[in-house]
Chains A and B, each alone.
Chain A
Amino acid sequence: MADAEQIYEMMRKSIQDYDSDAAVAAAELAVAEGLDLLEAVEKGFANPIRELGEAFDRMEIFLPELTLGADAMKAGVAVLEKALNEQGGKLEKKATVVVGTVEGDIHDIGKSVVATLLQANGYEVYDLGVEVPAQRIIEAAESHNADVIAMSALLSTTMLYQRDVIELLTNKGIRDKYFILVGGAPVTQAWADEIGADGFAHDAFEAVQLLDGVMEGRGK
């Protein structure tokens, strides 16, 4: 029989090795051994993926490693979450975020890093992809009961659509349901202020820090 610390170590190693199969095996062992599943998520997967994110920020690892590590975490956490749900429990997420690159803009990488790091930091993330029309962003936010809408635009012309999403939300009378975060190369705090967004982040790390602060303030 493996004790909790040994299993957490297996989980940590699966993230460090970017190994989804090993993450699933460790998570299944945690369930079989009757571990505290919330603690397993935190100690086994959340802490090491945060460390991986920090290593990415220092450019000690790169996007492929971060993506594989996040995939391993998702695979392992899915096992733990399923078991938790069967036990009548629930994995609390900091917040639900829909994220996408706005209409007319096909740039994916920056938005994907934001999605990955938010997931790694305990957010439930729905990545809508690229070239997402305003109406679809809103539909996704509504259907997933999101707390946050995060929009990326890499062109000075497509950032206009960030404004359209906010305007459409306002017209529908649901603007205040969401914290709206904007980012992308041409986007600035001044633009965020001009269009009435709630937050602006230069990069994925700033996005996580900003949302952590906001969600802590909301007591979520």
Chain B
Amino acid sequence: MNFNEIAKRCEAGRLTESKDFLMKSVAANAMKLGKEYDITWDGKTFLNTDDDMADRCFQAGRELFINTGIYSMNSSRVVQFSKREVDDALRFIRPQVAMGAGKDRVFIHHRQVEDARKPFIFCGPFNANVHEDMFVRLNEVFSRERIVDCLFFPGYLNEVDGQLIRPTSALATRMAILYGQWAREAVRRGGRPGMAIAGHAVMAPGEIACTHEEWGLRSTDPRAMVLISELQVDDVTLTRLAYYQAYGCPIYMAFTPLVGGYGGNVAGTSVVAVASFIASIMLGGEIVHIGPQHMKYKQQTNQHSLFLASLANQAVARNSNIIATTSHTTSGRPGSAQYAYEFSALALTAVTSGSNVSGPRPAEPLGNNNVSPLMGKLFAEVAHAAAGMSREQAAPIVEALYEKYKDNLDLENAPKGQPFEELYDLNTLTPTPEHQALYDQVKQELADLGIPLV
């Protein structure tokens, strides 16, 4: 749909309070439609294998979206769409999007359930605070990993010279410019000058300033927007959307359905997730990211989230051309084996369910630079290995992995991990022998469990 029409509806839709939208519209409809379409979860299954339920979930999500629309948080108005508008938008989705430039140009595709094509890999210091002194070097190492298709969220710069940055300040805009310059410099140093860089600089109001074809983020770089749970959008996101659409950037739209939140249980939240996929498309999203979040665990590899990721992804993979990608948010942190067990469990689930992959990231990174490009490489290798596996093959491996980390889901108890500067030799920008040994050991364990890693 034309962005102008969306922006107009944000000013002209039905006026209502946020709580009423969430409770009377989203929650009430999600629960009702979940029952009507018989969307269920037995509390035991890790990975959905019921195609008919995936199809019903898509229909329920479509109906939910048509009933509820999207809530504009700043104007307090509901943006609604007709059935025809929704079906037209779904019909005209482009199943392939290009990003990056020159020899570094790559394509992301819509994937089918159990698709043999390798998933697209978004990988980088996702969600981590990255210190200005380490920003370029750390991102350079990510870009050197050839298996990574797109440098993903080069990290949050939230201080400069020890000064914390207020998000709407001039300093925030200055840091957004540096973010663009340094991210571009990092991929140049990595030998991939046209490599796509996806993300946002967190200081959203001034972030447009990091756009520059020579030194910053380009029209060939996907720009990430985030919907607020559930089915809500704010003016900052719409402002960025207006600019990046006009500038020609691929639009990467993310949402995080909350199990236990306004969607209720896993079934209801799966319906909300499908509605959010469709909402993302209506707003102009071309790549749609689901973060199967959980209210209690605050991460995405718990059993509820695994099933949600499988069901919602299968619903859109089977019934639309939406290009989906799934974020991987773990309790364990980089530098621990648990981190790898968790992202592997979700990657197997997501990839066999028709998704591409984004991540991994710890839900609660500790301090600056709590990231590992080597673990990013392993994540990508697992995701590639999952391509072509059946859900029946993947499910017991997911369960075996879950058994390894289920008692350490609590963020307090989860392994603390280590920062980049302890996992890598900063002179050579290579993993320390200990970190390399961890990678070798975990990769062997994953292979022994049945993941076809080469």
Contact = CB atoms under 8 A, between A and B. Distances in A.
A202 interface: yes
A174 interface: no
B261 A62 contact: yes
B202 A106 contact: no
Interface centre among A65, A68, A155 (most CB of B within 10 A): A155
Interface stretch (A75-83, A118-126, A135-143, A156-164): A156-164
Given A104-B167, A106-B73, A109-B261, A64 B158 contact: no
Interface string B222-255: 0000001100001000000000000000000000
A47 interface: no
Interface string A37-73: 0000000000000000000110100111101100000
A63 to B, nearest CB: 5
Main secondary structure of the interface of B (DSSP, over half): loop
Contact of B364 (A104, A157, A185): A185
B270 to A, nearest CB: 13
A108 interface: yes
A166 B19 CA distance: 29
A64 B165 contact: no
B142 to A, nearest CB: 20
A13 interface: no
Interface centre among A59, A68, A155 (most CB of B within 10 A): A59
A1 to B, nearest CB: 36
B264 interface: yes
Interface centre among A59, A65, A157, A158 (most CB of B within 10 A): A157
A163 B158 CA distance: 15
A109 B26 CA distance: 14
Contacts of A188: 364, 366
Interface in B256-275: 258-265, 268
Contact of B264 (A64, A106, A108): A64
Nearest to A71: B23
Contacts of B73: 106
B165 A62 contact: no
A107 interface: yes
A202 B366 CA distance: 14
B166 A57 contact: no
Interface in B145-191: 156, 158, 164-168, 172
B202 A63 contact: no
Contacts of B264: 62-65
A202 B168 CA distance: 26
B164 A108 contact: no
Nearest to A156: B158
A57 B260 CA distance: 10
Given A107-B228, A185-B298, A157 B202 contact: yes
B27 interface: yes
B167 A155 contact: yes
Nearest to B235: A106
18 contacts: A56-B260, A62-B260, A63-B260, A64-B27, A64-B31, A65-B264, A67-B19, A68-B23, A104-B167, A107-B228, A108-B228, A109-B229, A109-B262, A109-B295, A155-B167, A155-B202, A157-B172, A160-B165
Interface of B: 18-19, 23, 27-28, 31, 73, 129, 156, 158, 164-168, 172, 202-203, 228-229, 234, 258-265, 268, 295-296, 298, 304, 363-364, 366, 411-412
The 3 closest A-B pairs by CB, nearest first: A64-B27, A157-B167, A62-B264
